[in-house]
Amino acid sequence: MGLSAALLLLSLVGSISGQVSLDCDQVYGSLKQIDAGNGQVFGVNEGHNIYTLQAGSWTQIPGELAHVTVGAGGVWGVNRNNQIYKLVGGAWVQINGLLKQIDAGGVQFVSGANMNDDIFCLGDSATVSAKDGSPQPWVHIEGKLKYYCCGPLGCWGVNSADDIYFRFSVTPGSCGGSRWQKVEGKLSMIEVGSNGSVYGVNSAGDAYRRDGITGSNPVGTSWSQVQYNFFKFRHVSQDLGLLWFITVDQKILRCSL
């Protein structure tokens, strides 16, 4: 698959920063989920085929996944049976455990939620060394979430009621963290960028950015809506100044921040 030259325009309407315009283009292809991290982009389509963006074109990766993620801890994914895999030397290696959603956006650690909305993470040393299918020491985190992801300033998640939560005191070696704080708003999925930025999508297909995030205030202050007249969204990811959207009809949008 190649790239389209057609340009689109998105407006970021913020309650703090006002209105910011983003230049976006539609990337050729169709995906149901996308993840950007560590300078790479991976995605899966409706048929569970796996793709990565290389030199402006999509390259298919052998295997089938329902959800894929890329970050400092490597490339990981889960299949339709909730089995966990890590990409090692160009081949998928199965890792013990079951997850329906996984995220490699932590500082060399991975996290995610299983089919019962139980939350787990794998510390940095185990994440990096996992390569031969041997049992890994997954850490169970209190609470229930359907989607959980991490970044340099902490971890965010949403539950089955679309309530939003932030996890404090998460470190690479102690990925379980210390406590939850509920954050105002409703989202059906949420993603943390490599720079700590937070974006999410609600059940109506509206996309939002979290404003006011700093090292001293990792929870931020408010939400800004990402609006575009012709598109509703199902997934969002951010890395290296680029914002990636999957629309409800599985179009791929790439925007410059």
Domains of the chain, residue spans: 7-256
Q: Note whether 213 and 222 are within 8 A (CB).
A: no
Q: What is the pLDDT of residue 132?
A: 81
Q: Rounded to whole angstroms, how far apart are CA atoms 220 and 154?
A: 12
Q: pLDDT for 10-37, tens place per residue?
A: 333 333 333 445 678 999 999 999 999 9
Q: pLDDT for 168-224, tens place per residue?
A: 999 999 999 999 999 999 999 999 998 999 999 999 999 999 999 999 999 999 999
Q: Rounded to whole angstroms, how far apart are CA atoms 85 and 96?
A: 9
Q: pLDDT for 65-99, tens place per residue?
A: 999 999 998 999 999 999 999 999 999 999 999 99
Q: What is the pLDDT of residue 228?
A: 63
**Geometric angle at alpha carbon 52, from 253 and 93, rounded to 5°:** 140
CA distances from 244 to 41, 77, 127, 233 (A): 9, 18, 25, 10
Q: Note whether 164 and 148 are within 8 A (CB).
A: no
DSSP-derived secondary structure letter, 66: S
Q: What is the CATH number of domain 7-256?
A: 2.130.10.30
Mean pLDDT of the chain: 90
Block residue for tokens 């895999």: 85
What pairs with residue 257 in β-bridges? none
- The three state secondary structure string of 240-256 is CCEEEEEECCCCEEEEE
Q: Rounded to whole angstroms, how far apart are CA atoms 155 and 89?
A: 28
